[in-house]
Structure 1
Amino acid sequence: MAKYSTGGSSGGGGGGACELCGKSSDSLTEANVAGAQLQVCSECASHNDNAETDSESDRERERNRKAAQNTAKASGVYDGDSSRWEEEGTNYDDDPLPYLVADYGETVEQARQDAGLQRDELAEELDVPENDLLAVEQGRANQANVAGSLVEALEDHLGVDLAEDR
Structure 2
Amino acid sequence: MNRIQVGEKIPSVILYEEIPDNEINISNLIAGKKVIIFGVPGAFVPGCSRVHLRGFIEKSDELRAKGYEEIICVAVNDPFVLSAWGWSKGANEKVRLLADPMARFTQAMGMGTEMPELGGTRSRRYSMVTINGIVREIFTDVDNVKLMCQGPKFCI
Asked if these proteins are the same fold (TM beyond 0.5), I'd say no
Q: Which has the larger radius of gyration?
A: 1
Greater fraction strand: 2
* TM-score of the aligned structures, taking structure 2 as reference length: 0.24
Greater fraction helix: 1
* TM-score of the aligned structures, taking structure 1 as reference length: 0.23
